Structure 1
Amino acid sequence: MRERWPLTLRGTGALALAVIALFVAQRAAIPELLYFGVLMLTLVLCAAASALVVRATGEVVRSAAPEVVEVGGLAEVQLSVRVSTALPTLPGRWSDALPAGLDGRADGAFPASASTLRRTGASVRLRYEVRGAVRGIHPVGPLRVSTTDPFGLIRRRFAVGAASAVTVAPTIVELAPLPSSTGEAGGTRQSSALQLGQGADNLVARPYAPGDSMRRIHWRATAHRDTLMVRQEEQESSPAATVVLDRALSRWSPAAAEGPGRDRAFETAVSVCVSAVARLVHEGYTVDVIDSDGELLADPVDGGEDAEARGLAASFATLRARPDGPSRRIVPASASALVGPVVVVTGRLDPDDLLALRAAAPRSPLAVLLTVADDDAARNVRSATGWHATALAPGGDVARAWDDATRPEDARVGA
């Protein structure tokens, strides 16, 4: 009720005094009270007219640091506000509209503003903190300002600027390094000799062979070895890894297809996926992220590019489950030929799925299967598939599940 009532406490008091003064002046025939009542009533009416006729406008520039906040992470939202109004205003309050996907308190005191008829209004700096609650791209705003007329009698409420988008990405959990045996099987950055003009410019020398161009002679190596040497380039190549995120709706709750944050199990799976990508990229792998039907979910992430891994997480802010394909595969058919690390993240599994997984187990020394579900089939996945497998409850400890699936003593079951 108070929000709808346009008068402030002072304005309400002035209106009450005007009514009482007019009533008493009429009954008691006191001219002074009549003048006072008319004056107070006129003052309130003029203030109301100014609020209706003189509109305040403005603009706001809103920024968040960091630009992308993870679920559970904090971001500081900064606002630069400029208000244009013909009449000066008294100090008031401001509030920024926050969606359900962000938690925080976005309100505070708004300073008084002068008339901008003759000069441009000064910029007002505001800030507040938000916590990412639900994955997605969430609109923040518009900014709403509540202030009063110069006499403090009438509330003036107006919106400033439009809404801005804040991206909430899935949480990247820091995972333990891969076991050393994985690196010995191709899990470290490797080098291969290639023809001139390919790869990175890491030059090595080799003996001259008939047909080599004279422009490729390595004079320093020739002088050192007393035999004609030519330059040969060596290319650094990153080993490949694959992360599969099974988005088939049959593995998840129907709510997972409606939008981010609707299915807790699917949200955990997305976090597992981006966390695994971040770990593999950090260790030098170039990572392909694909769906269970083989579709690329993002461009390959180059090894060592941690910023690209965070960019991948941001691109997954709106990822959701999809209808099942005809094959209902958990792992693409090409996965069995992969020799680099393979990480598969899926949900509910039935007995037929477990049999299919055994047949599709890759030749990779690190074939990890993480199921996010709370049913018995998920609990039995380790002994039924032949993968380095473990189950994770929705909202469970991702780092612990990763440790459980990748620890060196876990021999591939059934191999």
Structure 2
Amino acid sequence: MRSLPTPTPRTLALWVGGALLMTLGVALGNQDVVWPALFLVLLPLLALLTVLVLRPHFTVERTITPPVVGAGEPATVHTVARVTRPSPAGTVVAEDDPGHRLGTPHHARLEASRAGQATGTTYPIRGRHRGRYTLDGFRIRFSDLLGFWVHTVRLPQPTPFVVTPAVVPLPPARASAYGATGETPIPQTAISGPDDAMVREYQPRDDVRRIHWPSTARSGTLMVRREEAAWDPTAWVMLDSRAGVHDEERGERPTFEWLVSAVASVGLRLLADGYTVTLVDASGTRHDVAADRPAARAEWLDPLVDVQVSAALDLHEATVRMAQATSEHLFVALVGLLDRGTADLLAATTASRQRRLVLVVAPRPAARPAFEDGRAILVDHGWTVHEVSVDADLAGVWESASGGVA
């Protein structure tokens, strides 16, 4: 709905004075008093007409650099207001309000004396909470030359802005991934024979037809040919999005937000290490990102911008998805609450050669016995379990934990 001009205290005072003077003139029967009083009443109305008819017109361009940031990182908003119809309205004040979650309103004075005149202004914003935002709060405020009216006009110019989860740079894992054949990456273990064949040491159940005799004779150890395609690492990252395990505090769920940030950081680390990474949440929603995709980073972070807690009561749907993994895949589970039931579900996904890591939020004292029961079950099934707090140094936790799944 289009806004209307607002009278200033000067207008109200003039109307009150004019009304009193007119009443006095009528009561005294003095026409010389009535006419000035009528002029005082009508003058603000004439000023109102000029505000409505002669108001300036602007076009607005707004850009945000960068348009996507991590939670807590700054960005810069640059707006340019250009006059398309000048006005003698005098001073024009612009206000751009990014919203309380991004910053405070920014004010600037605009020149409106001639068409084509442009005024640029820049101000910072900071997204402290992940999400998708739209900046569309640009307004101009101007008055008539006598200061009787103030008119505020909103100029629609929606500009999207995305805040991803906070990402913590993580060190590389101490050991590289195993591929579909269980072989270590070629650059670390292979050697070249005279015919440049890529070889490795013989392992039980290797096909004898792959034995590379020249390398065997030269090294004194039985060597077999290997294919460059052997390294095709895949990792599964599970996010515990159960609403029941994340307590709400002042409209936020600190443990859930910490897990989302950890998932974002771990996933990017694994992508950088060459893994194809699959994200699964408690409701079983799956999202796959290949490391060789040009926009792998953006593809991994994008669903985490919108992810919310789910109504799932357990991790059954997530573990059903994870059970699709082959025996050489890496598992990283980020869990909000560990007990015997959760541990049994995770343990049921275990295959003989999988490498498995659980980062679980430290339990409250009352939940400690159930946590220890769950930890024992997972350890018995070959999982590495690390207890973390929401204020823990994720990089340090990852450096310590990743060595346990080598």
TM-score normalised by structure 2 residue count:
0.71
Q: Tell me, yes or no, if the aligned pair for 2:54 and 2:89 is still in contact at 8 Å.
A: no
1:13-46 per-position Cα deviation (integer Å, ceiling 9, x unaligned): 6667766877898889796x87766655443221
Residue of 314, 319, 333 corresponding to 1:344: 333
Is this contact kept in 1: 2:134–2:161, CA < 8 A? yes
Aligned residues of 2:141 and 2:152 also touching (Cα < 8 A): yes
For residue 388 of structure 1, the aligned residue among 367, 384, 392 is 384
Contact kept, 8 Å, 1:390 with 1:405, in 2: the verdict is yes
| Residue aligning to 1:110 | 109
Q: C-alpha distance in 1, partners of 2:146/2:230?
A: 73
In the alignment, which residue of structure 2 is the partner of 1:78?
78
> Counterpart in 2 of 1:279?
269
Alpha-carbon distance in 2 for matches of 1:351, 1:234: 42
Aligned to 1:356: 345
**Partners of 1:19 and 1:396 in 2: CA distance:** 70
Q: Which residue of 1 aligns with 2:44?
A: 44
Residue 130 of structure 1: aligned partner:
125
Q: Which runs of 4+ in 1 moved over 6 A?
A: 19-30, 33-36
Q: Structure 2 CA distance, aligned partners of 1:14 and 1:367? A: 79
Q: 1:236 to 1:404 in 2, by over 3 A?
A: closer
- SS of the aligned residue for 1:90 comes to coil
State the AA in 1 paired with 2:89. Answer: T
> What CA distance in whole angstroms lies between the structure 2 residues aligned with 1:127 and 1:50?
31
Query: Which letter does structure 1 place at the counterpart of 2:260?
Result: V
What is the rounded CA distance, in whole Å, between the counterparts of 1:361 and 1:11 in structure 2? 78
Q: CA deviation at 1:273?
A: 0.8
2:7 is the counterpart of 1:7: yes
Cross-structure match for 1:63: 63
**Counterpart selection for 1:241 from 228, 235, 242:** 235
Matched AA of 1:168: V
Q: Tell me which residue corresponds to 1:210.
A: none
Paired letter, 2:273: E
Give secondary structure in 2 for the equivalent of 1:174.
Answer: coil
Distance 1:61 1:173, change over 3 A: same
CA RMSD of aligned residues (A): 4.2
Asked if residue 170 in structure 1 is aligned to residue 168 in structure 2, the reply is: no
1:321-350 CA-partner distances (Å, limit 9, x unpaired): 333389725533526634232211222233
Structure 2, unmatched stretches of 5+, are 198-226
Which region of structure 1 is more displaced relative to structure 2, 384-393 or 84-93? Answer: 84-93
**8 Å contact kept, 1:374–1:394:** no
Instruction: State the alpha-carbon separation in 2 of the partners of residues 133 and 175 from structure 1.
Output: 21
What aligned pairs does 1:2-401 form with structure 2 within 5 A after superposition? 6-8=6-8, 11=11, 41-54=41-54, 57-85=57-85, 87-100=87-100, 102-114=101-113, 120-180=115-175, 188=185, 238-252=232-246, 262-292=252-282, 295-297=285-287, 299-303=288-292, 307-324=295-312, 328-331=316-319, 332-334=321-323, 337-363=326-352, 366-372=355-361, 374-375=363-364, 376-377=367-368, 380=372, 382-386=375-379, 387-394=383-390, 396-401=392-397
Distance in 1 separating the partners of 2:81 and 2:186: 50
Percent sequence identity over aligned pairs: 22
Summarize deviations over 1:209-235 as a string: whole Å, max 9, x none.
xxxxxxxxxxxxxxxxxxxxxxxx966
Q: Shift of the alpha carbon at 1:370? A: 1.5
Cα distance change on mapping 1:10 and 1:396 into 2, 3 Å:
farther
- Over residues 265-297 of structure 1, what are the superposed CA-to-partner deviations in whole Å (9 max), with x where a residue is unaligned? 222111111110111111222222233565422
1:188 Cα offset (Å): 4.8
Amino acid at match of 1:79: T
Change (3 A) 1:189 1:36: farther
Supply the AA of the counterpart residue of 2:296: E
Contact 1:243 / 1:287 at 8 angstroms: preserved in 2? Answer: yes
Return the letter of the residue paired with 2:111: A
Shift of 1:181: 6.6
Hey, what's the Cα distance between the residues in 2 that align with 1:317 and 1:282?
20
- Provide, for residues 171-196 of structure 1, a one-character-per-residue CA deviation record: whole Å limited to 9, x for no partner: 111112211376897675769x9xxx
| Cα distance change, pair 161–5 in 1 and its aligned pair in 2 (3 A) | closer
| Cα separation, 1, equivalents of 2:244 and 2:44 | 65
Paired letter, 2:337? R
C-alpha distance in 2, partners of 1:17/1:187?
92
CA distance in 2, matches of 1:76, 1:279: 27
Query: Of 388, 394, 398, which aligns to 1:402?
Result: 398
Cα distance in 1, alignment partners of residues 296 and 322 from structure 2: 27
SS at match of 2:289: coil
Whole-Å separation in 1 of the counterparts to 2:14 and 2:283: 72
| Structure 1 unmatched ranges of 5 or more | 194-203, 207-232
**TM-score normalised per structure 1:** 0.70
Cα distance in structure 1, aligned partners of 2:93 and 2:49: 21
Contact 1:243–1:273 (8 Å) recurs in 2: yes
Pick closer, same or farther for the CA change 1:188–1:40 going to 2, 3 Å: farther
CA distance in 2: counterparts of 1:363 and 1:90, whole angstroms: 78
